[in-house]
Chains A and B, each alone.
Chain A
Amino acid sequence: MAEPLDVDRLLADPAIRIVVCCGAGGVGKTTTAAALGLRAAEVHGRRTVVLTIDPARRLAQSMGLSELDNTPRQVKGIDGENGGELHAMMLDMKRTFDEVVQQHTTPQRATEIFANPFYQAMSSTFAGTQEYMAMEKLGQLRSTDEWDLIVVDTPPSRSALDFLDAPARLSRFLDGRMLRLLLAPARSGKSMFSLVTASFGLFSRAVQKILGAQLLTDLSGFVAALDSMFGGFRQRADETYRILQDPQTAFLLVAAPEKDAVREAAYFAERLVAERMPLAGLVLNRMHRSEIPGLSAERSEAAAEALTGDQQMTADALRIHAALMRQVEREVRVAATLTEAFPTVPATSVTAQPADVHDVDGLRTIGTLLV
């Protein structure tokens, strides 16, 4: 087992300005992020903002978030005795993208871009847009220097790595070779495909046939309108990437003790290390524990079988205990594969709660279990 993760020291450290919670979908990232934010504000007196991507409705409501309005809202009902504040916001992907466009171009160009069907498709469906916009928003929040601590919940992506890869992929896409080829008419006034190689000509004819000429006109318009923004896009993506690598950032990898989640977490941990991202610790979430670990599953099952009909209640209680013991065993075994693979990464575990968390009290409980 790795050394224990000291969550309080992390949250109290004034040099830590960003905590990124990452991991597979469904492991409790959002709840963990909210609980960390609450503890940073209440216990450590920090002015904290939690950026959530897609919180459960009731959790969002408990933090006073009723809409995707892209604006941090102060969470009420928290203990501000230590001078801390908690703010929370939900990411509005499309609005964030619109803001980026507005900042990098003239109002007239922005209007053209917003009207283009490609922009509309891309700002809402491009694989990785959500991840990219989450990182963009993080960059914006950090640049105002308004917050002691920013806690980020990463999007539930196809692969948990998308948010690392998305900025590079998007900027590669936006100033890639293909787009430059398509951009040729905007730059030289010549036909879009006159300068390209034979295979690209073939490709463009195929694209034209399959997708229709209208699509290429729209695309070329989109690309021409975005032309002025390429440099800006790439620069921002690079800046955000550097912030993530900086020691002011701490990545917490959240995992549930299930085979799939642990496999994804291991892959993710390897990537963070390879990308020189500061992996501060592992959070093993939703670990079950028994009140009476001394009574084995086998023994309680045998006892349950032996009990007669009028002892049904005790027999059932023993079966519940036996199932819990087996679950604990399995979870400990699965969790160990992760902690053993990353022996130098500090770890903490959070006991599973019987019901889902959807109020500030519940988040406070998770916060105390985290440390």
Chain B
Amino acid sequence: MGEHVNSRWPARLHVVTGKGGTGKTTVAAALALGLASGGRRTLLVEVEGRQGIAQLFEVKPLPYKELRIAQVAGGGEVRALAVDPEEALLEYLDMFYHLGAAGRALRKVGAIDFATTIAPGMRDVLLTGKVKEATTRSHDGRRVYDAVVLDAPPTGRIGRFLNVTAETARLTKMGPIKTQSEGVASLLRSPITSVHVVTLLEEMPVQETLDAIAELKSLNISLGRIIVNGARPALLTAGKVTKAELKRGLADAGLPTDAAAVNGLAAEAKAYLTRRELEESLRTELAEAGRPTVELPLLPGGADRAGLDELARELMRA
């Protein structure tokens, strides 16, 4: 397997964030599918216990295990993992302290819940630590995954989630958690990682995208692309509609030309132009962030497998 999965998407760990409702899970899944083309293997990870991946692929809730969720033409595959912080902590304790059955007992008395609750930063270290482990894992001298795609927390929480060192340093001055958080921190700041922000051409998502990019930049975390989801084709590029012309056109097309039809069509066209003008100004705002941008089309049939494959192709072309 080559050094780079894909020269256009050179990172090995792709972190996908975005405001809630922008379709970041869909985009993360499409990216995992796209990067698995050409016989590669990718891992799609979620960390918030939402089971968004399972819902998207219409399968049963995912366990804390890496399971194949999709096959890709050319022999590639996407595996999926829902990281559970409690399981990650137990796995971690086991690795360092060989707790075995005692670990399970701790869970019964609520100790694990307690430990991950008293130190929210620790929870994030465990989650990102697991992602790091999968990204760097090798078997027989070969990388297990050509790329890992993380469906990350939304823009509002992404800075805190990825800035694990600062969060844990507040609480712990030494010990393996600190070592682990430092390892995660340097991975997230290396070219191996790329954080992509998904947005819609709507005011709040764009504002949050710009805020998140500024925040991640100030944390020196490796930024990737802005991914505009649900983009509509540009129509009426001349920018105006006249009712007289509409009426002639409708007549030529053999459609009704009564006032209601002409006025209705004109009103819809004007609403479209208002919307597009707003979208254009949002595109300009996004461009000021200075990040490469890719636009994905609105999926008329929704995010089923065919839709995801279409988005995957668009992403790999970009």
Contacts and interface: CB of A to CB of B under 8 A. Distances in A.
A127 B121 CA distance: 11
B79 interface: no
Contact of A299 (B97, B167, B207, B255): B255
Contacts of B105: 199
B173 A214 contact: yes
**What is the interface of chain B mostly: helix, strand, loop, or mixed?**
helix
B286 to A, nearest CB: 16
Contacts of B264: 290-292
A300 B246 CA distance: 13
Interface residues of A, number: 74
Given A26-B204, A178-B114, A313-B238, A209 B19 contact: no
A307 B178 CA distance: 67
Contact of A203 (B111, B242, B246, B255): B111
Contacts of B138: none
Interface in B83-135: 93, 96-97, 99, 102, 105-106, 109-111, 114-115, 117-122
Contacts of A65: none
Contacts of B280: none
Interface string B233-249: 00110100110011011
B268 interface: yes
B190 interface: no
A209 B21 contact: no
A152 to B, nearest CB: 19
Given A178-B114, A212-B172, A215-B171, A203 B300 contact: no
B290 interface: no
Contacts of A93: none
Given A25-B20, A317-B268, A356-B202, A219 B176 contact: no
Contact of A314 (B153, B250, B260): B250
Given A125-B167, A177-B109, A215-B171, A26 B20 contact: yes
A261 B21 CA distance: 8
B279 to A, nearest CB: 10
Contacts of A4: none
Given A314-B253, A317-B236, A210 B300 contact: no
B141 interface: no
**What is the interface of chain A mostly: helix, strand, loop, or mixed?**
helix
Nearest to B49: A158
A145 B153 CA distance: 39
B177 to A, nearest CB: 5
Interface stretch (B9-17, B35-43, B66-74, B269-277): B269-277
Nearest to A260: B21
B209 interface: no
A321 interface: yes
B109 A199 contact: yes
Contacts of A299: 255
A317 B120 contact: no
A313 B167 CA distance: 56
A75 interface: no
Interface residues of B, number: 77
A212 B300 contact: no
A341 interface: no
Nearest to A306: B253
B245 A211 contact: no
B203 A354 contact: no
A206 B115 CA distance: 11
Contact of B272 (A178, A212, A320): A320
Interface string A107-126: 00000000001101110011
A295 B268 CA distance: 13
A323 B263 CA distance: 18
B48 interface: yes
Interface in B167-212: 167, 170-178, 202-205, 207
Interface in A289-318: 290-292, 295, 299-300, 303-304, 306-308, 311-318
Given A121-B121, A121-B170, A311-B248, A354 B274 contact: yes
Given A207-B115, A261-B21, A303-B254, A117 B170 contact: yes
Contacts of B178: 212
B213 to A, nearest CB: 16
A56 B20 contact: no
B98 to A, nearest CB: 11
B55 interface: yes
B106 A313 contact: no
Interface in A4-47: 24-27
A127 B172 CA distance: 19
Given A156-B156, A317-B241, A212 B173 contact: yes
A25 B268 CA distance: 28
20 contacts: A26-B22, A27-B21, A156-B156, A178-B110, A199-B106, A200-B106, A200-B109, A202-B106, A209-B175, A256-B21, A291-B265, A304-B253, A311-B249, A313-B238, A314-B252, A316-B235, A320-B269, A323-B232, A355-B275, A356-B202
